[in-house]
Amino acid sequence: LVLARMFQRYCHSNWAAILLTATASFGTLVLPFSKTFNNHTPAFVSAVLAVQAVVMIAVEGRRHWGWFAAAGFFAAFVCCNELPAAAFGLISFLWLAKLDLRKTLIVYVPFAIVPLAAFIYTNFEVTGGLKPFYMYYATEKYNYVESGVPSYWVNPKGIDQAKDDPATYLFH
């Protein structure tokens, strides 16, 4: 709904807004990922909410602290769910800092620290280190047996087997 409203507001035609909404809804992996417990769905929703907040500040000129809080919190939460999205968080921070450095530092940053601190804390509790969990791939943190039941990663299936060489994987 947030994207549909944004598309409706900024597209020059209803057809373009409908096409963009349909593409975002059915032409991405958002719908298939929403059927399983995963990190991608909350990352997508957070990205949409962060984009909405940034658009309200940057395009609409709304400088209410609530938009800065939403932008900071959701941009950081995207990063917590999809680490490559750190670039997204950095770009949103820099863009808003350029527009209003004071509110970005006073509001955006503290609200961004909340999910980032929770991520760092829980990651440390689980791994005993500061590296993201997936950097422990192929270690005892992934390949374990609990109460006689091995983790999925002891014998992964399908695409998770990662049998492709790096060039093929990158191509795909």
pLDDT tens per residue across span 59-96: 999 999 999 999 999 999 999 999 889 999 999 999 99
Distance CA 97, CA 103 (A): 8
pLDDT score recorded for residue 75: 98
Which pair of tokens denotes residue 166?
């790096």
Residue with tokens 């983790």: 151
Residue 55: its pLDDT value, please?
Answer: 96
Instruction: Kindly indicate the confidence band of residue 102, based on its pLDDT and cuts at 50, 70 and 90.
Output: very high
Inform me whether the pLDDT recorded for 156 exceeds 90.
Answer: no
Predicted local distance difference test score (pLDDT) of residue 147: 92
Per-residue confidence band for 155, with pLDDT thresholds at 50, 70 and 90: confident
| Phi, psi at 69, each rounded to 5° | -65, -45
DSSP assigned state of 105: I
Helix (H, G, I), strand (E, B) or coil at 160: helix
* pLDDT, averaged across the chain: 91
Instruction: For the chain, give the longest Cα–Cα distance.
Output: 60
Res 104 pLDDT > 90:
yes
Interval 40-65 mean pLDDT: 94
User: pTM of the predicted model, to two decimals?
Assistant: 0.82
